[in-house]
Amino acid sequence: MRFYFNSLQTGLKFATGSFLLAAFLLGAAPSFSQVTDGMSSGRNASKPEAAQKAEARIRQISNDAGKYFKQGLDNLGNNRRVQAREDFDRSVEIFLISGINVQADRGLRECYNELIETIYRMEFPTGQQPANLRRLSMVCGWEIKDEVADNVAAILQVPVKADTDSELTTAAVGGEVPVETELGIGFAEQKFEPSPLDELSKLVLTEEEQDVDSPEAQYEYEIIRSAAANKSLGFSFQMHRMVQQYLNYYRGRGRRTMEVGLYRSGYFMTMARRIFREEGVPENVAWLGQVESAWKPTAHSWASAAGLWQFIPGTGSRYGLRRTAYVDERQSFEQATRASARYLKFLANRYGGNWELAMAGYNCGEGNVDRAIRRAGVANFWAAYPYLPKETRNYVPNILATILIANNPQQYGFGHIRPAPRLRYDRLRVPASTNLQLIAQASDSTVQYLRFLNPELRTNRTPPEPYVVRVPAGKANEVVAILRRGTLVNDDSTRLAKTSKGETWETISNKTGVPVADLMAANPGMKTPQGKVFVPVVVGNNVEATTYSRPTTSGPAPTDPSIRIVKAKSGETVKKLAERVGASPVEVAKMNGLYVNSRLNAGREIRVPASVAKE
């Protein structure tokens, strides 16, 4: 939604880390190196049918994700960076929409972890720890050619200074890379997700797209006109040749835009339909969200419009969407959707139930529509059309075409698109200024995924008031139980650590370097450690080694010359790594706050004695 004022500030900078929010959509990581296409038919024959189907599904996920990733590498190698980012996004989404518990399969988990790490390194290359495409190829079995890996490595070597003016730079990467560091150019040319309206405002239909004079087109026109007059789509509208012209556009050069929109609509359309229905707005009008943002909560326009429904600050405030140092509710899922429905209903009432004029008003403001109606002499969109801003003239027929395609995708050549599954999450109220790191650890997730589920949050903590946040589905009760017994939920120097059966406060103290008294004070009423426990962070202790966040940065080199860092290999335990480098497993376990049999993720950095380290 965009209003036209006498002056509008342009050139706004946003650094929302668009890919990362999508990339960490699950906070876990899948992999499937265990299952290969080389399984003998004899092995499969001896397995239950359900097991065979599960393995086939895992192979399919791997193959599909690999296809998009390698396509992204090809686009990146040919300097098509925007297309590369879309392909990398889709590679990750293949895992997220699979419906498989990726945590339960070691192969899936390791491949997904490696994919996330690799793309992260490509988008934020530091030079110290470049993306390792060969390792990804090995873990996932994707057969990435050496020349492709070398070409991509060369492309990502160009260092540029990070945008120090952006308040969102560190948030975009989970706060793990300070803005002062030298970041490579990565594969993304933009640090935010542009609103599709920016392109729509400049769109000029070709002669071929405007050709709707064929007998087939005339027949199509009559079919649509009849459906519109009969309110077959939940509301009536006046059919016009421009609607058909946009149908032509989407069946041609706009096909990719429509495919992405139909796919992403699955995340939010169920929620949008419900809220629009509750507010008395035709459910199909909710497809306006596809034209506004392509269903991307982090979309921003040049006119400072934000979120799924592209509210500018003034109109957002008018409909109760707060914008503070802590939250920007224009980017909230439910709140912004309800505000959008209420604004559309207000506009429809203003124009006597005419939804075309309501949509026009949503785009350019009721003041512009009122003036156009006065000049036309009648409250009719097509009569007022010549007097409306150019973008609005494109906007309304575009939405009508989108609604027609969405309701009959097979008819218009989009029957192959399977919408993404509905985005599922739990909502719970947490105390003021709760640290997202704690919520992430309590929900077995990541800060990045929580930021995706709560795009309205502007920092890595909740506002200084009790606040409702979204957490992964099925995790609400567990998070509530943990936070209720904690006294340090708003303390940045507190982490959660998983405990094992039989552990005592003394063993945890030995692992973390935190005194027993401090541990018990952070967990009042807990005589023996159970589940996840609060651990205060003190400089020099090993608390970070006991958390289970994904390691994403190499960190500073150890200052102690007697220590060296070694990266774990896929499937290694502390014992295996120690034996590989010729060190004592007990000593290595103690140095890293781990057990001798602790299993390590591929790439995890482990401290070992420098005198024996060898690889």
Quickly tell me which residue has 């600050």 as its tokens.
313
Instruction: Read off the amino acid at residue 66.
Output: G
pLDDT of residue 546: 39
Distance, in Å, from the CA atom of 82 to the CA atom of 219, rounded to the nearest integer, reads: 38
Radius of gyration of the chain (CA): 27
Cα 11 to Cα 14, 87, 168, 200, 300: the distances in Å are 10, 27, 16, 18, 12
pLDDT of residue 51: 75
431, 486 contact by CB (below 8 A): no
Q: Please provide the average confidence, as pLDDT, over all residues in the chain.
A: 78
* Non-local CB neighbours of 362 within 8 Å, separated by 6+ positions: 1, 288, 340, 343, 344, 347
Contacts of residues 416-421 at CB distance under 8 Å and 24 or more positions apart, as own/partner, are 417/259, 417/262, 417/263, 418/263, 418/266, 419/262, 419/263, 419/264, 419/265, 419/266, 419/269, 420/93, 420/97, 420/263, 420/264, 420/265, 420/266, 420/267, 421/97, 421/99, 421/266, 421/267
Maximum average pLDDT range among 224-238, 511-525, 537-551, 582-596: 224-238
How deeply is 225 buried, as exposed, middle or buried, from its count of CB atoms within 10 A (0-12, 13-18, 19+)? middle
pLDDT, average across residues 147-154: 84
pLDDT of residue 615: 55
Distance, in Å, from the CA atom of 239 to the CA atom of 244, rounded to the nearest integer, reads: 9
Distance, in Å, from the CA atom of 436 to the CA atom of 593, rounded to the nearest integer, reads: 24
Helix (H, G, I), strand (E, B) or coil at 259: helix
Q: Residue 419 is encoded by which pair of tokens?
A: 């919408």
pLDDT of residue 1: 58
pLDDT of residue 597: 76
pLDDT, average across residues 474-485: 88
Task: Say whether pLDDT at 383 is over 50.
Answer: yes
pLDDT tens sequence across 389-439 = 988 999 999 999 999 999 999 999 998 888 888 899 999 999 888 888 889
Least Cα distance to 585 among 555, 614, 564, 608 occurs for 608
pLDDT of residue 43: 45
pLDDT of residue 202: 78
Helix (H, G, I), strand (E, B) or coil at 468: strand
The angle subtended at Cα 546 by Cα 541 and Cα 550, nearest 5°, is 120
pTM across the whole model: 0.59
336, 311 contact by CB (below 8 A): yes
pLDDT of residue 121: 72
Give percent above pLDDT 90 in the chain.
33
pLDDT of residue 99: 63
Kindly tell me the number of DSSP H helices and DSSP E strands found in the chain: 28, 10
Task: Say whether pLDDT at 308 is over 50.
Answer: yes
Q: Where are the beta strands (DSSP E) in 238-303?
A: 299-300
Q: Tell me, what DSSP letter sits at residue 385?
A: G
Within 10 Å of residue 453's Cβ, how many Cβ atoms? 25
Maximum average pLDDT range among 150-164, 167-181, 344-358, 503-517: 344-358
Instruction: Read off the amino acid at residue 329.
Output: E
Which positions are catalytic?
292
Give helix 133-140 / helix 106-123 axis angle, nearest 10°: 160
pLDDT of residue 179: 24
128 alpha-carbon distance from chain centroid: 26
Contacts of residues 164-172 at CB distance under 8 Å and 24 or more positions apart, as own/partner, are 165/13, 166/13, 166/14, 166/15, 166/191, 167/458, 168/14, 168/15, 168/16, 168/17, 168/458, 169/15, 171/17, 171/451, 171/458, 171/459, 171/460, 172/15, 172/16, 172/17, 172/20
Q: Residue 517 is encoded by which pair of tokens?
A: 């008294």
Phi, psi angles (nearest 5°) of residue 472: -50, 145
Distance, in Å, from the CA atom of 236 to the CA atom of 39, rounded to the nearest integer, reads: 57
pLDDT, average across residues 134-162: 77
Least confident of 170-184, 258-272, 444-458, 514-528: 170-184
